[in-house]
Structure 1
Amino acid sequence: MGQTLTEIADTLRGANKKVQLIYAFNASGKTRLSRAFRELIDPKTEERDDDYRPKVLYYNAFTEDLFYWDNDLTGDTERKLCIHPNAYTKSAFEDLGLDTRVITAFQRYTQPNLTPRFNPEFSEVTFSLERGTDTSTGNLKISKGEESNFIWSVFYCLLDQVISTRNVAEVDERETDQFNDLEYVFIDDPVSSLDENHLIQLAVDVADLIKRSDAVNGLKFIITTHSPLFFNVLFNELKKKTSYMLKRLEDGTFELTEKNGDSNQSFSYHLYLKQTLEEAIAADKIERYHFTLLRNLYEKTSNFLGYPRWSELLPGDQQLYMNRIIQFTSHSTLSSETIAEPSPQEKQTVKLLLDHLRNNYSYWQEDAPSA
């Protein structure tokens, strides 16, 4: 028999782990779980006063609902993203002055000349493409993916400030006291409308923040996602974590199952990687992030077969192939444009190395469908 989401939230609280990763398919209750967890840890009451300090900082679909468009249907020129004020946006903009850092983070996720501009009250933001002179494109309505990047950038910069503040051991020496009661950070699926390059970068950024959060500051992190790629990057970046799979049962209850080992054992992630690479090769749409997936596939195969280094599985001139893969998969290339897009020859390398893996190791031959 399954559990209610409140019971699962209580299980997560009782685990007392610094990091808990949860994979679940869409419509499995991830967002409702984040709400149930918040209500369990920090229920809303009418007695909250001006000195109230939250115990849970969360990012979910309700966070995105704080931002909504005024499309200027009459004039069709003054398009702006409006910000519904609450404690979350007040902390980010009015109290901590994170607007400049948000702009920098947003441009890193999108493009350097796509510029947000806040009004003085931080109640709305407009976007324009700067052209290197005093001219710009005027107010743009950005894409859904860019909007998600912007909202995530706000949360990311706030979380970065939270961790920096909480890492100061002496409470009296902290820049602000508004995070002193914070116990949990709950991040629910921040990957909607993101392409794979930005998704990988976002996962690496999240992992870096968590690793920077000192154990002595007491913060605990719960992250849910429907994306195998996002889950897997976090799984491999974070050494100490507990992983689960959340399922919604037919009777409307839920099941949270702990998954030990790598994400292949959790939900056949290696098959997902293989399929993604095969589809990109067939469509001749190899991009930089496919080298990351290829490396991930080699790492998983080497771990399963007991090889100490994934490069030992490479054919021929192993150092040459390893250098090529590393060039496209280092963290620096995930967050910058310093490495050019793959050339036709480099794209062919992806096919060659995938074929080599499938044709030479029984780990993959056993997964192949029988004729």
Structure 2
Amino acid sequence: MAAAYYSSLTDLAKQLRAELQTKKFFLLYAYNGTGKTRLSVEFKDLGKNDDERDTLYFNAFTEDLFQWDNDLKNDRERVLKINKDSRFFAGLAELEMDNRIRRLLDRYADFDFRIDTTEWEVSFSREVKSGNTTKLVEDIKVSRGEENIFIWCFFLAIVQLTLDGAEAYKWVKYIYVDDPISSLDENNAIAVAHHLTQILMQSDRGPRVVVSTHHVLFFNVLCNEIKNKAHRYFLKNAANPGGYSLLDTSAKPFLHHLSTLVELHQVDSSGALYTHHFNMMRRVMEQTASFFGLEDWKACIKATDDDPDKTLYKRMIDLMSHGDYSLYEPREMMAENKAHFRTIFRQFVAGHPFNPALFANDAK
């Protein structure tokens, strides 16, 4: 399927809302810097009507609702301050949020916390073993990853309240999650994706859901868990500055390097080759070399030992992929470089067991 083009994030956000009328989930993969967070804001803003809202969202702005007070004067009572003016915390005092969050947090962390709804702050503690004794250390500053997972569990507790029909969150018609795992390792990425889908798939009813991420593993776990209940797309900056390209990946497995490989095949076929495509090709070669246990990406250039062009191709990829070639200001290759690119790319594809179906004509 050919990619759909959108001239603005507002138009794209409208399309997301339209597609959510037919399926409950919309999964979106995009590189960092593409505009995922801005898209979540556009989506949220489309649901604003004076004081009315319809979207519960998790993104970088959600994390900003929590700010550290590190007690610089005494360096002892460190607390995480809560922005009490946000509707995100509508049920904080009445709905026993401490216990709801704790049940979720115990999956991921070994620290405890206490929410003070008078001072609107969170304090953290941890049991530390020393020999045969255990000591409770209070008012600690948790790591950035631990802070993120606490905020994430806070959000999940609110999602659960929304799914349970809590009066404080009756206004939620959409849930939008943008990159919840920026500071987590891959093991936790899998756990978070699995846990999120467990919660969201309790029922086919309830709010419609958008999840966007730059994390390939997280995206793949979501796709595998949700399967045919979701629209799955790859969001990219379009060749025209300011535009966006949305590629449907629902019909095939999604992996970052495979998606890049398909894109390179498309530009090879169309002739729309730009200098940054050398960089993309080298990245795919590096991932392929890593998968096959090869020494480095150069081993992916399938040429005979007596081929005089083998050294040329290595140097060309090395040179072109280290140049200052931007995705946002593409420069078209010279005809000679296009010819070299095509030769290298086609040898690479032919020399590795990629599924030929990946390179089927988009029109099919």
Q: Do the structures match in fold with TM over 0.5?
A: yes
Are residues 265 and 70 of structure 1, via their aligned partners in 2, closer, same or farther at CA, if it must alter by over 3 Å? Answer: closer
- Cα distance between partner residues in 1 of 2:152 and 2:350: 38
Q: Distance in 2 between matches of 1:243 and 1:204?
A: 17
Is the 8 Å Cα contact of residues 235 and 262 (structure 1) preserved in structure 2?
no
Change in 2 beyond 3 A, CA 1:91/1:195: same
1:115 equivalent in alignment to 2:112: yes
Deviation at 1:135, TM superposition (A): 3.4
Structure 1's 89 and 2: CA in aligned 2 closer, same or farther, altered over 3 A? closer
Q: 1:71 to 1:2 in 2, by over 3 A?
A: same
CA contact (8 A) 1:92 1:99 kept: no
Asked whether the equivalents of residues 263 and 269 of structure 1 are also in contact (C-alpha less than 8 Å), the reply is: no
Structure 2 equivalent of residue 213 of structure 1: 203
Shift of 1:363: 11
**2: distance between equivalents of 1:2 and 1:11?**
9
Aligned to 1:142: 142
Q: Name whichever structure is richer in strand by fraction.
A: 2
Greater Cα offset, 228-237 or 89-98: 89-98
What SS does the aligned partner of 1:14 have?
A: helix
* Match 1:32 to one of 38, 47, 61: 38
Q: Which residue of 2 aligns with 1:84?
A: 83
**Count of equivalent residues:** 267
The SS at the match of 1:191 is coil
Aligned equivalent of 2:100: 101
Alpha-carbon RMSD: 3.1
- TM (norm. structure 1) is 0.65
Which runs of 5 or more residues in structure 2 are unaligned?
262-283, 295-348, 356-364
CA contact (8 A) 2:6 2:12 kept: no
The structural deviation recorded for 1:248 is 2.0
User: Identity of aligned pairs, percent?
Assistant: 35
Q: Secondary structure at the match of 2:26?
A: strand
Tell me which residue corresponds to 2:7. Answer: 3
Which SS does the other structure have where 1:28 is aligned?
coil
Q: Residue 366 of structure 1 aligns to which amino acid in structure 2?
A: P
Query: 1:265–1:77: structure 2 CA closer, same or farther, 3 Å change rule?
Result: closer
Change (3 A) 1:260 1:135: closer
TM-score (norm 2): 0.66
Q: CA contact under 8 A between 2:234 and 2:247: conserved in structure 1? A: yes
Map of 2:230 onto structure 1: 241
CA distance in 1 between counterparts of 2:59 and 2:117 reads: 26
* 1:254-282 per-position Cα deviation (integer Å, ceiling 9, x unaligned): 2222223233377527999x959958x99
Whole-angstrom CA distance in 2 between matches of 1:270 and 1:252:
21
Decide which structure has greater helix share. Answer: 1
